[in-house]
């Protein structure tokens, strides 16, 4: 049987800039291959830190995190680079693109680095991906000059270029206009069933959001970071039935 | 903070307590600065060892990405800095070499010209000046550049892509700055000596250029060449590592960048003078 994509056992997630401050404690979480998890919670409840911990970017003071069966602990651990290459991360906001590089260079960088190829040699492959994502006209633009919605899409392209098995997306729809929000939902749905252009393999998705309503149709399982605790809520029906007033405040615009 | 009560009790209980407190008031900041300096040196040392380790273990990895970055750093810290280094070399030649030669002629000690110019220009001033010019012209900008990358999260983005930030960001600067400082030192020495000779000749030095440079060559020992190489390598490695340490090693906010830059300049100055001091006993033995 294949190892779970993510396995967290009693993990304490801390703030990236304040390692002594626990944000979420007691995280027990198992993500299987092909699943789509929506992790929600109020702003500042630790969703981003959780995602970065799962990506092997943060150390954590307690528990154990395994990704694709490999133990990760922030910057430590053998084979961490290989694990990171199997995990695509789309950061919040402008996606932490390299602002002084063009869109093409941003997306091509991981391929060039890991395959030891020049920009020209991977250009065709990268342009194919950019076309698939409607970004081909932006290829020559500096990433630092893109608007938020387009930058976030470029960040998704950069995360996908190495064909990861797991995609972690932080706030995919926050601040998006309806056009981009629809595109994101559609594209993430296609990734979930497997895009032929990316090998056709269903991808495991973890989507962190403080607007879970927009992702109700996409998520198969739901979890919440709330008041420093981690709660797996189950499927959509179970999630929608939750009684906690603050969690209901995330889902429903009611007093 | 000690309460006034404990302070009074402490003051009356110990004879000469006032003097002790006064002494403590003077020595505490000195001790704090010393301990802080040692701690910073330890951190920069550890960072340098990590960088050199990455350089060694990933030497042949992704040359098609890393090589252009190294070339870019050599262009920035070497080629673009060359005009100002040449200018400073000429200034150094006019001010130091020209005057020294004339002074030695006046007191009839021309035979000291070789050893004196080798000591002042070749061994001391040229390497130090080249390193400080690179620090001022490129180093401060590099701290801001790296610090911004860290502050806006681009370093984590590199890590998320499986790219080692030390390999991608630090190694090119380590190689580029070191190569640049070594080469710029050679240019500075050449320009200083040529300019110095021209000034001295115009003021009545009765020596042809071949004889002048033979005197300089006689003042050089064979050990000077490896020592000069080692010294400039030391300057290059230290300058690049202090810059990268302050830009990358600590999590920064954008408002911290100014302070990081100031600290970089101060630490590089101190480190360069310490490297200079390390070589002093060796030169005294030659």
Q: Which residues of B touch A85 (CB under 8 A)?
A: 161-162
Cross-chain residue pair B161–A85, CB shorter than 8 Å: yes
- Give the residue, B27 or A66, on which the prediction is more confident: A66
- Give the residue, B121 or A246, on which the prediction is more confident: B121
Nearest partner of A155 among B154, B98, B63, B90, judged by Cα:
B154
Percent of chain B with pLDDT over 90: 58
State pLDDT tens for residues B91-112.
Answer: 999 988 888 888 888 888 878 8
Cross-chain residue pair A110–B153, CB shorter than 8 Å: no
pLDDT band at B14 (very low <50, low <70, confident <90, very high): low
Residue B166 covered by a domain:
yes
Q: Which residues of A touch B64 (CB under 8 A)?
A: 112, 116-118
Cross-chain residue pair B162–A91, CB shorter than 8 Å: no
Residue B37 covered by a domain:
no
Residue B148 covered by a domain:
yes
What does the domain layout of chain A look like in residue ranges? 6-97+146-251
Which element (helix H / strand E) includes A208? strand A204-209
Instruction: Round to whole Å and give the CA distance between B123 and B29.
Output: 35
| A101 at interface of B, judged by CB pairs closer than 8 A | no
Residue A78: predicted pLDDT: 63
Cross-chain residue pair B61–A109, CB shorter than 8 Å: no
Q: 10-29 in A: which are within 8 Å (CB) of B?
A: 16-17
Q: 147-176 in B: which are within 8 Å (CB) of A?
A: 152-154, 156-157, 159-164, 168
- The count of domains in chain B is 1
State pLDDT tens for residues A209-245.
Answer: 988 888 888 888 999 998 888 988 888 888 888 877 7
Domain that holds residue B221: 65-279
Residue B153 covered by a domain:
yes
| A99 at interface of B, judged by CB pairs closer than 8 A | yes
pLDDT band at A12 (very low <50, low <70, confident <90, very high): very high
Residue B203 covered by a domain:
yes
Q: How far is B19 from chain A (nearest CA, A)?
A: 41
| B250 at interface of A, judged by CB pairs closer than 8 A | no
State pLDDT tens for residues B59-101.
Answer: 989 999 999 999 999 999 999 999 999 999 999 999 888 888 8
Instruction: Round to whole Å and give the CA distance between B44 and B207.
Output: 48
Cross-chain residue pair A116–B63, CB shorter than 8 Å: yes
Phi, psi of A172 (to 5 degrees): -65, -30
Q: How far is B248 from chain A (nearest CA, A)?
A: 14
Look over chain A and give the mean of its residue pLDDT values, rounded to a whole number: 89
Cross-chain residue pair A84–B159, CB shorter than 8 Å: yes
Residue B27 covered by a domain:
no
Alpha-helical runs (H) found in chain B: 4-13, 17-57, 63-74, 82-92, 99-106, 113-117, 126-134, 140-151, 154-160, 165, 171-202, 209-219, 224-244, 257-285
Residue B13: predicted pLDDT: 47
State pLDDT tens for residues A138-164.
Answer: 999 999 999 999 999 999 999 999 999
Cβ atoms of A89 and A168 within 8 Å: the answer is yes
Instruction: Round to whole Å and give the CA distance between A201 and B42.
Output: 48
Structural tokens at position A225:
């970071």
Q: How far is A90 from chain B (nearest CA, A)?
A: 9
- Vertex A200 angle, CA A197 and A205, to 5°: 100
Is this prediction's ipTM beyond 0.85? yes
State pLDDT tens for residues B185-202.
Answer: 999 999 999 998 898 888
Residue B54 covered by a domain:
no
Residue B144: predicted pLDDT: 92
For residue A199, the tally of other CB atoms under 10 A from its CB is 9
Residue B104 covered by a domain:
yes
β-pairing, A70-72 vs A62-67, is antiparallel
Looking at domain A6-97+146-251, its CATH architecture is 3-Layer(aba) Sandwich (3.40)
């Amino acid at each position: 049987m294949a190892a779970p994509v993510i396995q967290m056992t009693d993990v304490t997630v801390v703030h990236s800039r304040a390692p002594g401050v626990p944000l979420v404690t007691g995280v027990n979480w198992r993500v299987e291959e092909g699943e789509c998890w929506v992790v929600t919670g109020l702003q500042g409840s630790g969703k981003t830190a959780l995602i970065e911990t799962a990506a092997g970017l943060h150390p954590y003071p307690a528990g154990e995190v395994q990704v694709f069966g490999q133990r990760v602990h922030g910057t430590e651990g053998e084979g961490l680079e290989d694990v990171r290459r199997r995990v695509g991360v789309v950061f919040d906001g402008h996606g932490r693109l390299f602002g002084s590089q063009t869109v093409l260079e941003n997306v091509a960088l991981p391929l060039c680095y890991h395959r030891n190829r020049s920009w020209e040699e991977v250009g065709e492959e990268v342009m194919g991906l950019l076309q698939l994502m409607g970004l081909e006209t932006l290829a020559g633009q500096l990433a630092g000059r893109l608007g938020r919605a387009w930058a976030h899409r470029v960040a998704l392209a950069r995360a996908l270029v190495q064909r990861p098995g797991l995609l972690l997306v932080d706030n995919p729809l926050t601040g998006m206009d309806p056009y981009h929000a629809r595109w994101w939902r559609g594209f993430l749905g296609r990734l979930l069933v497997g895009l032929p252009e990316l090998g056709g393999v269903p991808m495991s998705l973890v989507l962190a959001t403080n607007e879970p309503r927009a992702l109700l149709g996409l998520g198969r399982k739901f979890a919440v970071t709330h008041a420093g605790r981690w709660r797996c809520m189950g499927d959509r029906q179970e999630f929608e039935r939750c009684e906690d007033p603050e969690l209901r405040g995330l889902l429903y615009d009611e007093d | 903070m000690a309460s006034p009560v404990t302070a009074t009790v402490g003051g009356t209980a110990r004879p000469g307590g006032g003097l002790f407190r006064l002494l403590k008031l003077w020595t505490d900041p000195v001790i704090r600065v010393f301990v802080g300096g040692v701690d910073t040196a330890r951190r920069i040392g550890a960072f340098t060892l990590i960088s050199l380790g990455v350089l060694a273990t990933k030497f042949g990895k992704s040359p098609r990405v890393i090589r252009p970055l190294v070339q870019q750093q050599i262009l920035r810290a070497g080629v673009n800095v060359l005009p100002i280094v040449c200018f400073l070399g000429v200034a150094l030649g006019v001010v130091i070499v020209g005057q020294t030669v004339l002074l030695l002629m006046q007191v009839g000690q021309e035979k000291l010209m070789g050893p004196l110019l080798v000591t002042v220009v070749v061994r001391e001033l040229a390497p130090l000046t080249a390193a400080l010019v690179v620090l001022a012209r490129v180093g401060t900008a590099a701290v801001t550049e790296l610090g911004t990358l860290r502050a806006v999260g681009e370093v984590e983005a590199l890590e998320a892509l499986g790219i080692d930030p030390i390999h991608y960001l630090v190694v090119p600067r380590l190689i580029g700055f070191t190569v640049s400082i070594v080469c710029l030192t050679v240019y500075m020495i050449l320009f200083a000596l040529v300019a110095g000779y021209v000034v001295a000749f115009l003021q009545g030095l009765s020596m042809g250029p071949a004889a002048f440079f033979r005197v300089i060559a006689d003042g050089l020992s064979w050990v000077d060449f490896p020592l000069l190489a080692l010294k400039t390598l030391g300057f290059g490695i230290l300058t690049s590592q202090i810059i990268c340490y302050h830009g990358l090693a600590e999590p920064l906010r954008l408002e911290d960048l100014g302070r990081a830059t100031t600290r970089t300049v101060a630490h590089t100055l101190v480190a360069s003078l310490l490297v200079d001091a390390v070589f002093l006993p060796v030169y005294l033995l030659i």
